[in-house]
Amino acid sequence: MFLSMEKTEKEFDENILDETSGDMKLNINKKYKGKIYNIIINLLKENDYIVEGVKETMVAEQKKNISNFIIKLTKKVSIIMAYNNITNEDAETYEDDDEYNNLEFEIAFIITIFKYNSYFINMLSKTLVNEKDVISYISSKYFTKNWYKIPIIFPKCLLAEIATRLTY
């Protein structure tokens, strides 16, 4: 989670994003891959029970994150909806409202952290088909819109289906 948050903060600082879309091609560069692979290699040196325990803990944490993220996003969306329903006269009052101006950025930030977490979890999973398929899937508009209801560990059949859709 910390590595995902650190990576997301760096990406949001270095890149000007369209924060209204939430879509973002993940920047899985050599440095980031190196950090992930280093963690995985060190973890795989451990007993199988420890590796399975870590994976189970990571999946449980990601499920908890889904619940927490949905609560935050629901609050943010309700605030955005409230702002969208204001009259033109009231709009001038809210133009400089930092809470409103940061909401969509925060939503994109939360979803991007989740995407980096998903990449890490699926790199540790034995069901991995192809790293490029995982990155393409996590970066897709479909994943961005449906991230909260997609299996945390991507089954091979799901990645194969997505790879087929991307070729059309």
> pLDDT band at 4, cuts 50/70/90?
confident
Range of lowest pLDDT (6-15, 32-41, 49-58, 70-79):
6-15
Task: Please report whether residue 149 resides in a domain.
Answer: no
**Does the structure show a pLDDT above 70 at 60?**
yes
Domain residues for 87?
A: 2-10+26-125
Task: Please report whether residue 137 resides in a domain.
Answer: no
Task: Please report whether residue 147 resides in a domain.
Answer: no
How confident is the model at residue 22, as a pLDDT? 44
Domain count, the chain: 1
Range of lowest pLDDT (136-140, 143-147, 157-161):
157-161
Task: Please report whether residue 151 resides in a domain.
Answer: no
Task: Please report whether residue 142 resides in a domain.
Answer: no
Task: Please report whether residue 156 resides in a domain.
Answer: no
**Does the structure show a pLDDT above 60 at 26?**
yes
- Answer yes or no: are the C-beta atoms of 120 and 36 closer than 8 Å: yes
- Answer yes or no: are the C-beta atoms of 62 and 121 closer than 8 Å: yes
Q: What does the alpha-carbon distance between residue 40 and residue 36 come to, in Å, rounded to a whole number?
A: 6
**Greatest mean pLDDT among 9-18, 69-78, 155-164:** 69-78
Task: Please report whether residue 166 resides in a domain.
Answer: no
Task: Please report whether residue 58 resides in a domain.
Answer: yes
